[in-house]
């Protein structure tokens, strides 16, 4: 299995080449190869090519890294694979320096190649298409050499669902249904309720450390995240058009509620302010009468006509809230089970070659001792999978299931939050009813 990544070099090209050709990292420079250049003068040759072709871009070269699983490959084979990869993706059209580093627990190749094509004089186009070509050729070569290849769906899963390496806060947020995507959803919903207009909404989102990108689709990026998230990927209610409509709708609701706002009933019995001021007593009595009439109207709208009905409504809301909580826990359990399945599949693929070598000669005690941990992990993962699956599951299908479950959980969480607010409102009715209205409401 080889993992690849590529990034541009815009300055200190000489230092980058010096780093990858360090003798301590490359077995005294044995594991170094070049094409159409020399190690000591490669950076000047790269720059000379730019001058010849009159290239004025900021990128001087590209740095490609190809990493292999620990214990899966020898330094010589890794270097051979690196040369073959250069041949297939660069096609003898770019100067390059290739080195194989053996100083870390995993062997890896460094390839620095000129950004300018020797044949066409054009710059290398680094984008998703060319990167996938690199990944494809790297995987193909590894497969041809009998090595395992990377599972792209596991890599996506690892970024979206794996908790290892995350902070306690981020993991806790995920467990509560507030993953980064649902956290964005939660923040948008909250800010909409606070916003006076569209510009105010954008301003408040920025104050919550979100960068907003406008284009065909509105997108948000939190300062703690590398990538942007399009609003429409969260749900239909988060497209730019719908967000603007929701801000307007929220504002209309607030104007309506401001007229219907129910204040707390003030207890006039044994109230020191009432005893000290007749003016305050008059104001408080008037306030209570206004609040009481509004409570009656709102309770009538909700179909509540008695103290018993308030308690019944609270109980029904509490029951609904518990049901939603149980559903979220069930989904969380399913997500955890699928995540474990994904990890077991990855473990099997990762250590299959070691287990196969062991199976060929189980009497090799030295090999068993050296690889005991990996063999045990492989066996345990296989045992766990066999409990639920007859054959190795498809990681693409599992990832799709995980995404659907997470989306369902996010929707339930929003409903759960709404139910919580409803209970708070009912408790306010109950408090005011008990404090001031008593049985009077039932006669109105």
In this structure, the dihedral spanned by the alpha carbons of residues 164, 166, 170 and 172, taken in order and rounded to 10 degrees, is 40
* pLDDT tens digits along 14-48: 999 999 999 888 877 789 999 999 999 999 999 99
d(CA 89, CA 87): 6
236 confidence band (pLDDT: 50, 70, 90): confident
Residues 6+ apart with CB under 8 A from 201: 191, 192, 195, 243, 247
Per-residue pLDDT at 442 exceeds 60: no
Question: How would residue 376 be classed by pLDDT, with cut points 50, 70 and 90?
Answer: very high
**Four-residue CA torsion sign, 32, 38, 43, 46:** negative
Higher per-residue confidence, 123 vs 1: 123
What are 393-437's pLDDT values in tens digits? 999 999 999 989 988 887 888 788 777 767 776 776 676 666 555
Query: pLDDT tens-digit profile of 296-316?
Result: 666 666 676 666 777 787 888
Q: What are phi and psi of 211, to 5 degrees?
A: -90, 130
- Per-residue pLDDT of 126-165, as tens digits, reads 998 899 899 889 989 998 888 876 677 887 888 777 654 4
**What was the pLDDT predicted at 433?**
64
Q: What is the mean pLDDT of residues 236-259?
A: 77
- pLDDT score at 416: 81
Give mean pLDDT, residues 216-237.
84
Q: For 19, what's the count of Cα atoms within 13 Å in the CB-facing half-sphere?
A: 10
Strand, helix or coil at 115? coil
What is the residue extent of each domain of the chain?
A: 2-150, 177-277, 307-443
Q: So what's the pLDDT on residue 168?
A: 37
Q: What is the DSSP letter of 165?
A: T
Question: What number is the average pLDDT over the span 265-289?
Answer: 79
Q: What is the pLDDT of residue 305?
A: 67
Report helix angle 240-260 to 180-194, nearest 10: 50
The pLDDT tens digits of the residues spanning 238-248 come to 889 989 998 98
pLDDT of residue 253: 67
SS3 96: strand
pLDDT confidence of residue 35: 96
What size, in residues, is the chain?
A: 444
Residues β-bridged to residue 49: none
- The yes-or-no verdict on residue 115 having pLDDT over 90 is yes
pLDDT at residue 91 in the model: 93
What pLDDT sits at residue 261? 44
Q: Name which CATH class applies to 2-150.
A: alpha beta
Res. 258 pLDDT band, cuts 50 70 90:
very low
Q: What is the pLDDT of residue 286?
A: 82
Q: Specify the pTM.
A: 0.49
Q: For residue 82, which of 62, 67, 71, 60 has the smallest C-alpha distance?
A: 67
- pLDDT surpassing 60 at residue 12: yes
Instruction: Give the chain's mean pLDDT.
Output: 83
Who has greater pLDDT, 75 or 223? 75
């Amino acid at each position: 299995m080889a993992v690849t990544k590529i990034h541009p070099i815009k300055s200190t090209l000489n230092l980058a080449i010096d780093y990858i050709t360090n003798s301590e990292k490359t077995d005294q420079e044995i594991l170094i190869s070049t094409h159409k250049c020399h190690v000591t003068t490669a950076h000047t040759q790269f720059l000379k090519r730019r001058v010849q072709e009159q290239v004025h871009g900021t990128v001087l070269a590209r740095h490609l890294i190809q990493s292999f699983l620990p214990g899966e490959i020898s330094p010589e084979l890794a270097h051979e694979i690196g040369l073959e990869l250069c041949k297939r993706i660069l096609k003898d059209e770019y100067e390059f320096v290739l080195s194989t580093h053996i100083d870390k627990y995993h062997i890896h190749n460094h390839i620095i190649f000129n950004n300018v094509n020797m044949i066409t004089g054009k710059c290398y186009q680094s984008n998703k298409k060319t990167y996938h070509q690199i990944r494809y050729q790297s995987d193909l070569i590894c497969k041809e050499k009998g090595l395992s290849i990377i599972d792209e769906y596991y890599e996506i899963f690892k970024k979206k669902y794996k908790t290892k390496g995350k902070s306690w806060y981020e993991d806790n947020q995920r467990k509560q249904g507030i993953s980064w995507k649902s956290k964005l959803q939660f923040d948008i919903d909250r800010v909409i309720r606070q916003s006076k207009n569209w510009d105010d909404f954008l301003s408040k989102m920025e104050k919550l450390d979100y960068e907003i990108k406008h284009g065909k689709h509105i997108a948000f990026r939190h300062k703690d995240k590398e990538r942007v998230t399009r609003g429409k990927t969260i749900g239909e209610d988060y497209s730019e058009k719908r967000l603007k409509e929701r801000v307007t709708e929220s504002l209309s609701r607030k104007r309506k509620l401001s007229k219907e706002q129910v204040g707390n009933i003030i207890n006039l019995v044994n109230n020191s302010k009432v005893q000290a001021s007749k003016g305050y007593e008059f104001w408080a009595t008037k306030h209570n009468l206004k609040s009481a009439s509004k409570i009656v109207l709102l309770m009538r709208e909700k179909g509540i006509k008695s103290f018993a009905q308030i308690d019944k409504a609270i109980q029904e809301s509490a029951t609904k809230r518990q049901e939603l909580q149980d559903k979220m826990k069930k989904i969380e359990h399913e997500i955890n089970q699928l995540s474990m399945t994904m990890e077991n599949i990855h473990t099997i693929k990762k250590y299959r070659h070691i287990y196969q070598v062991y199976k060929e000669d189980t009497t090799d005690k030295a090999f068993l001792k050296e690889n005991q941990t990996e063999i045990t992990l492989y066996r345990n993962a296989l045992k766990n999978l066999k409990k639920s699956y007859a054959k190795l599951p498809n990681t693409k299908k599992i990832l799709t299931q995980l995404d659907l479950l997470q989306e369902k959980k996010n929707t339930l969480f929003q409903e759960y939050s709404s139910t919580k607010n409803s209970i708070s409102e009912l408790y306010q009715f109950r408090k005011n009813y008990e404090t001031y209205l008593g049985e009077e409401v039932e006669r109105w």
